[in-house]
Chains A and B, each alone.
Chain A
Amino acid sequence: MMRLHSLLLYLYPSSFRAEYGAELAHVFQKRRQLASNAVEVLYLWVREFVDVLFNAARVHWDILRQDLRYTRRTLVRAPGFTLTAILITGLGIGANTATFSITDHVLVRPLPFPEPDRLVQLWQRTPAYPQVEISSPNFDDWKKSSTSFELMSAYSSDAVTYAGNGQPQRLEGTSVTSEFFGILRVQPALGRVFSEDDMGEEAARTVILSHAFWQSAFGGNSDILGKQIRFNDDQYTVIGVMPPDFFFPARPGQFWRPLIIPAPARLIRDNYYLYAIARLKAGVSLEKARAEMNLITEQLERQYPRENAKLRATVEPLQENLIPRQTRSLLWTLFGASLCVLLIACTNLANLLLAKAMGRSKELTVRAAIGAGRERLVRQLLTESMSLSVAGGVAGIVIAVVALPLLAQLVPQRLPLADVTVLDQRVLGFALLVTLGTGLAFGVLPALRMCGRADHDGLRERSRSGVGGRRERLRSILVVAEVAASVVLLVSSGLLIRALWRVQAIDPGFRPDSVLSIQTWLPTPRYQSGVNRDRFYQEVLSKVRALPGVANAGMISFAPMTGGGGIWPVTVPGQTGTPQTGAIRFVSPGYFDTIGTRLTRGRDISDSDIVDSSQVAVVSESFAQRYWPNQDPIGQTFNFAFDNYPFAQLDRTVVGVVGDVRFRGLERRSEPQIYLAYRQLEDGPTYYAPKDLVVRSSIDPAQLVASVRAVIQQADPEMPISAVRTLRDIVDLQTAPRSMQLRLVVAFATLSLLLAGLGIHGLLSFAVGQRKPEFGLRIALGAQPRDIISVVLREAVLLTGIGIVTGLIVSRYVGRWMESLLAGVSASDPASLGVTIVVALAMTLSGSLLPALRATRADPTAVIRGE
């Protein structure tokens, strides 16, 4: 019975228990003796339990208040230390909170749809490309034959001209099949989503608006349902408005309309342009769905051996599919780097506190001797470190809020995610955890260490233990850890810098400087006519070329690195095998000269290449090399392997060869390119009609924008204009996330280097202080300053050396893990490693210089007097 009671007393702090435990037990025993029956005993226990619970909490609280008062006094007494400590923790916690909030937002948090783990994205897969858009008949067959999915929906990116009240506007959106919203299980904010009735070619045209577009174009007016709005030249009835946080499939989407595929197009099996999502049936695993899709695609290959040769399906979880691999690596690397900084910050603070505690060891030992006890000391030191880390945590949250917009630039704008908000519960919870962890991490070591000392040799303060002594070992290990962590960050920064340089040095295949790019949108049906298009092109091109400061101008279907489709299968008469693909673009004369792509053979597209003349093409060098290696490509012919598409099947003659352009992006493999004559595009859909105007200027392209706009407006006042930027901007956008990440990692590395330098400085200063008598004696015995300096530096260099080696070993693993970000730079890139070693040594030297000089000033006479 009494044992149970003494266990209960463990709720009190041990100092209180030591003082009053026996008496508390005594009182309880007396009362127990007075209790005469079971009910009274039970009542006594309940009372005792409540009493201990309440009073133990009060005693703990009293101690905490005392410790906090004491902490406040000590921290205020050393404002330099306090501010440094708060700043260091603030930076560490801030960096982590900010990177966490963005990593969590983009990578960890499930998609904002019910049961998101059942959502998948479907692609076609060829031996060369793991993810290719899907053709309409293949999608229909997949949908019909598969049983793994509850629903499957196709969608394709869409754009319309919306006239509204003022200037015609180009709107981006998505055409979707009726299952689209059901798969995602989202409800509209207003109205309804599509049903099967909205889907037919003859059905009334309906549209659903995004919340943002509804707000901006209609002022959020709820009368919008049932209203007619004009898209291109057609009237659409608004049937719904989506909620403000719905962005699928891409952030800029402003509308959704039914995906209507005309009957003839439903038969073309090798025109790939649809995307597809599906929801797995409950209980069906991803593997099972993949296996089923494999069977279905094998069956389709047997049925359509030519169009579906080696064509399979890729089934990926939607979440993984939405976030590009590079964005993933980018964010995880950054998160790792910020953890590294926090680790260094903790180590550094542990070291600072340890040094401070050693300075106070006399006081602490006295406190222990007068009965403060080990536990009270630990509590006191932990209160101190926790107070610092909580203050640091508050500073950290402020830093995170400020830093977040910067970090947000790492996330591609098109991801279907809401904006990152820093101060939500998850992020605050994380910041709190990190703060507490930090306080514990840098408080507990010094506390335990000091208690050990207090018990053993506290009062022998003057006992001379050298730097190699036991108590220094812990601090040395901490310094080694700091150096190692900053080496890892330095190597990573080095590798990322090299990778960025390498990517920036990639030849895009054109000269992007001084080229302005403007998107026009050729609204249908007017521009379905070749004659109308031609009139527009002639007027715009001739007038723009005549503007002062303009060197040349041209038009193309899609400017390089701005996306677009047009990946067509190619067949060459006389050559057998599976057709390979090329990227087609229609261009005007002067396009190559304008963007600075070399014409290496033959001639440019010309104005005399018209629909009725022989079909011509200018191809890229890799295209010529692929089909006619070691032959003159000029005069060779090829066509596109589309069935049921007479235009594609026309034979085309190669009239010129140009350099390859990385149209998919600097770091992506691009298919060989085929440029067709803009006047040879038949009447009909304008998807491939040149709409991107490029202008090379001899003056700042920004000065041209107004006059080029005016020319376009003059040619067609209803022509929407968008995406006005320079080709340089477009190319820089390719490396923007990289540069941003690099800047952050470099900032982290600099910070950690600084902290490690401080750590070495602190350790050596303390050690030199301790060894002053020894140095004094050495000087008295005739040692030169040089000898003293070398003694101190040897220590520093040894620690740094161990740190560097450890860091380099860890860096190898980190480097391999970052491989996808390194653009082919080796993880053991000698330049990065070399620079890191030099920088780390330089940091050591600068950190140890002052303590070393101080050691040479040890006064021999003072030392002898002191002894």
Chain B
Amino acid sequence: MTFSQSDIDELLPLPPATFHILIAVADESRHGYAIIQDIAARTNGELQMSAGTLYRSIQRMQEQGLIVESRRRPDPEDDDERRRYYDITPFGTAVARAEARRLSELVRLARARGIAPERP
């Protein structure tokens, strides 16, 4: 699948829910509930994404080509047939990278003006 920079730019800035989901599926396929748990764990429980928001975002992200439903399933003993697993696409990775760049650029600007803490 080919995509251009303008395809990426068109989606920026990403809604926070979308960015979190992309990060959650960046390294491995996850099902919906696992995404929610991953986000909660990474944000120390501060962000408890609701199922409605999750699946509405997933639907839109699939349409945008950011994620796809995974063909790989876990071992049968770990699997639950109701679950669907999602993978990030190369386009999704590119968009997530672009968003991360955008956010760090913002933080750099804020830091330059002394309104964000220095790197720990």
List chain A positions with a Cβ less than 8 A from chain B: 16, 19-20, 22-28, 30, 47-48, 51-52, 54-56, 58-59, 62
Contact A55-B36, Cβ < 8 Å, known A23-B84, A27-B51: no
Chain A positions within 8 Å of B32 at CB level: 20, 23, 26-27
Taking CB atoms and an 8 Å cut-off, the chain B residues in 74-95 that contact chain A are 80, 82-84
Judging by beta carbons under 8 Å apart, are A54 and B52 in contact? yes
Contact A26-B83, Cβ < 8 Å, known A51-B50, A51-B53: yes
Judging by beta carbons under 8 Å apart, are B56 and A59 in contact? yes
Chain A positions within 8 Å of B55 at CB level: 16, 20, 23-24, 55
Is B97's beta carbon under 8 Å from chain A?
no
Distance in Å: Cβ of A332 to nearest Cβ of chain B: 51
- Could you mark each residue 17-46 of chain B with 1 if its beta carbon is under 8 Å from any beta carbon of chain A, else 0? 000000000000001110010000000000
A197 to B56, CA, bound (A): 78
Extra contacts, 6 of them, besides A19-B59, A56-B52 (Cβ < 8 A), are A16-B55, A22-B82, A23-B32, A24-B55, A26-B82, A62-B60
A28 to B50, CA, bound (A): 9
Chain A positions within 8 Å of B82 at CB level: 22-23, 25-26
Chain A positions within 8 Å of B83 at CB level: 23, 26
A51 to B60, CA, bound (A): 17
A25 to B80, CA, bound (A): 13
Nearest B residue (CB) for A21: B55
Distance in Å: Cβ of A375 to nearest Cβ of chain B: 15
Chain A positions within 8 Å of B31 at CB level: 23
Judging by beta carbons under 8 Å apart, are A52 and B60 in contact? no
5 A–B contact pairs at CB < 8 A?
A20-B58, A20-B59, A26-B33, A51-B53, A62-B60
- Could you mark each residue 58-80 of chain B with 1 if its beta carbon is under 8 Å from any beta carbon of chain A, else 0? 11100000000000000000001
Chain B positions within 8 Å of A56 at CB level: 52
Judging by beta carbons under 8 Å apart, are B56 and A58 in contact? yes
Chain B positions within 8 Å of A22 at CB level: 82
Judging by beta carbons under 8 Å apart, are A26 and B50 in contact? no
Judging by beta carbons under 8 Å apart, are A27 and B53 in contact? no
A23 to B83, CA, bound (A): 6
Picked from A27, A28, A52, A59, the residue with its CB within 8 Å of the CB of B59 is A59
Distance in Å: Cβ of B9 to nearest Cβ of chain A: 20
Picked from B33, B50, B80, the residue with its CB within 8 Å of the CB of A55 is B50
Judging by beta carbons under 8 Å apart, are B56 and A27 in contact? no
A742 to B60, CA, bound (A): 58
Distance in Å: Cβ of B46 to nearest Cβ of chain A: 16
Of B55, B58, B84, most buried by chain A (CB within 10 Å of CB) is B55
Chain B positions within 8 Å of A27 at CB level: 32-33, 36, 51, 54
Chain B positions within 8 Å of A59 at CB level: 56, 59
Nearest B residue (CB) for A58: B56
Contact A30-B58, Cβ < 8 Å, known A23-B84, A51-B50: no
Nearest B residue (CB) for A11: B52
Chain A positions within 8 Å of B50 at CB level: 47-48, 51, 55
Of A25, A26, A28, most buried by chain B (CB within 10 Å of CB) is A26
- Name the 5 nearest CB pairs between A and B, nearest first: A55-B52, A27-B51, A51-B50, A20-B55, A51-B52
Distance in Å: Cβ of A79 to nearest Cβ of chain B: 29
Judging by beta carbons under 8 Å apart, are B84 and A55 in contact? no
A23 to B51, CA, bound (A): 9
A160 to B54, CA, bound (A): 82
Of A52, A55, A58, most buried by chain B (CB within 10 Å of CB) is A55
Nearest A residue (CB) for B69: A19
A25 to B33, CA, bound (A): 11
A55 to B49, CA, bound (A): 12
Of B52, B58, B83, most buried by chain A (CB within 10 Å of CB) is B52
Distance in Å: Cβ of A479 to nearest Cβ of chain B: 41
Chain A positions within 8 Å of B59 at CB level: 16, 19-20, 59
Nearest A residue (CB) for B48: A47
A610 to B56, CA, bound (A): 101
Distance in Å: Cβ of A50 to nearest Cβ of chain B: 9
A56 to B51, CA, bound (A): 11
A304 to B58, CA, bound (A): 93
Nearest A residue (CB) for B57: A55
Chain B positions within 8 Å of A52 at CB level: 52
A54 to B31, CA, bound (A): 23
A404 to B80, CA, bound (A): 67
Distance in Å: Cβ of A13 to nearest Cβ of chain B: 10
Contact A30-B53, Cβ < 8 Å, known A16-B59, A62-B60: no
Chain B positions within 8 Å of A26 at CB level: 32-33, 80, 82-83
Chain B positions within 8 Å of A48 at CB level: 50-51
A30 to B33, CA, bound (A): 8
Chain A positions within 8 Å of B56 at CB level: 16, 55, 58-59, 62
Chain A positions within 8 Å of B33 at CB level: 23, 26-27, 30
Chain B positions within 8 Å of A55 at CB level: 50, 52-53, 55-56
Distance in Å: Cβ of B85 to nearest Cβ of chain A: 11
A678 to B80, CA, bound (A): 110
Distance in Å: Cβ of B98 to nearest Cβ of chain A: 23
A375 to B31, CA, bound (A): 27
Chain B positions within 8 Å of A30 at CB level: 33
A59 to B55, CA, bound (A): 10
Nearest A residue (CB) for B32: A23
A26 to B34, CA, bound (A): 11
A285 to B32, CA, bound (A): 70
Distance in Å: Cβ of B70 to nearest Cβ of chain A: 14
Picked from B51, B60, B84, the residue with its CB within 8 Å of the CB of A28 is B51
Of B31, B50, B59, B82, most buried by chain A (CB within 10 Å of CB) is B50
Chain A positions within 8 Å of B58 at CB level: 20
Distance in Å: Cβ of A744 to nearest Cβ of chain B: 51
Nearest A residue (CB) for B35: A27
A47 to B83, CA, bound (A): 22
Nearest A residue (CB) for B36: A27
Nearest A residue (CB) for B51: A27
Distance in Å: Cβ of A344 to nearest Cβ of chain B: 41
Of B56, B60, B83, B84, most buried by chain A (CB within 10 Å of CB) is B56
Chain A positions within 8 Å of B51 at CB level: 23-24, 27-28, 48, 51
Chain B positions within 8 Å of A58 at CB level: 56
Distance in Å: Cβ of B50 to nearest Cβ of chain A: 4
Chain B positions within 8 Å of A20 at CB level: 32, 55, 58-59
Chain B positions within 8 Å of A16 at CB level: 55-56, 59
A217 to B58, CA, bound (A): 74
Chain B positions within 8 Å of A25 at CB level: 82
Nearest B residue (CB) for A25: B82
Chain A positions within 8 Å of B53 at CB level: 51, 55
Distance in Å: Cβ of B16 to nearest Cβ of chain A: 15
Chain B positions within 8 Å of A28 at CB level: 51
A22 to B58, CA, bound (A): 14
